[in-house]
Structure 1
């Protein structure tokens, strides 16, 4: 496993965020989508103005994973009202966790996940949840290995195509009260 450094993303990083976001989304989802719908989605979702709004949103946090100084992936976490769905309990949403294809298998995804887990524990979060495309078995298996379990579904729309995400949840161990 390579040494992975996790750093916060700020407004000054928006161009790099747009580039890695677009590149990893294409690598992951392009083959399963209508080209016109997909291009339109990319244009909107990864526009710098859109991403600046997300970076500045209360409760949303972006992080880069760097390997030897190169951005290898990124993570977006949502807390409180920034979460995309109302989920029971004090929860943290992993809205995006993507790794550049050149760094797949190098421990970058696990490092980003462990980082999110650390934040959740520091914040006293009860559970982490996320949505994963039902047609992405590699990601589903990764989350199952981390202990996530399905608890529902929600829609994710790319153009005219309404897709289904499996919502998965990982319950975190609560520290026991002193005796």
Structure 2
């Protein structure tokens, strides 16, 4: 059974655990180990997660499968996409699953949940950036109707960045 839970600051330990683990599982090879470790320490400590969860603009959702946390998403409403003029749009800043849940179609469920929240907020689309070498994720988003609309860089540390595709899903009728 699949369920969704909106995360609050008290869920910081869960976000730190699932967030750090799922990031390393999917992107651990995208940079030197020391860079990835520093990124996880900076962004997935319980303190960092609690601060993010307190930000009113952020909307975090955990997905559970048979009562077990399987992943999470982070969306930010009314966040302009640097590659297009369409507004208002929601940024899908994170959508991560733990590797053990990849074959359960939970990524699709979590994305559809994020899209529903975005539409309920009156947004015209959903955008994201995805590491250019994450071919699995790029194919996933293309299958969901996203189009590549630009390129950018994702900063892991002050002097280490990865190239990303900027992708956009325009909602029908817009």
Distance 1:72 1:142 in 2: 18
Distance 1:111 1:32 in 2: 26
Distance 2:25 2:121 in 1: 33
* Structure 2 spans left out of the alignment, 5+ residues: none
The equivalent position to 2:92 in structure 1, one of 91, 94, 97, is 94
Aligned partner of 2:161 in structure 1 is 162
1:40-51 correspondence to structure 2 within 5 Å: 40-51=38-49
TM-score with structure 2 setting the length: 0.93
Distance 2:108 2:81 in 1: 24
Q: 1:131 to 1:163 in 2, by over 3 A?
A: same
Distance 1:105 1:91 in 2: 29
Aligned partner of 2:67 in structure 1 is 69
User: Does 1:142 pair with 2:123?
Assistant: no
1:117-128 correspondence to structure 2 within 5 Å: 117-128=115-126
1:13-48 residue CA offsets vs partner (Å, 9 max, x unmatched): 100110000000010111231111111111001012
TM-score with structure 1 setting the length: 0.90
The structure whose Rg is larger is 1
Distance 1:64 1:12 in 2: 13
Runs of 4+ in 1 over 6 A off after TM superposition: none
**Aligned residues between the structures:** 171
Distance 1:129 1:147 in 2: 11
Distance 1:101 1:84 in 2: 31
Contact 2:130-2:138 within 8 A present in 1 as well: yes
Task: Report deviation, 1:174.
Answer: 2.8
Contact 2:11-2:50 within 8 A present in 1 as well: no
Contact 2:81-2:127 within 8 A present in 1 as well: no
SS at match of 1:31: coil
1:29-83 residue CA offsets vs partner (Å, 9 max, x unmatched): 1123111111111100101221112111122110100011110010001012xx4
Distance 2:141 2:5 in 1: 23
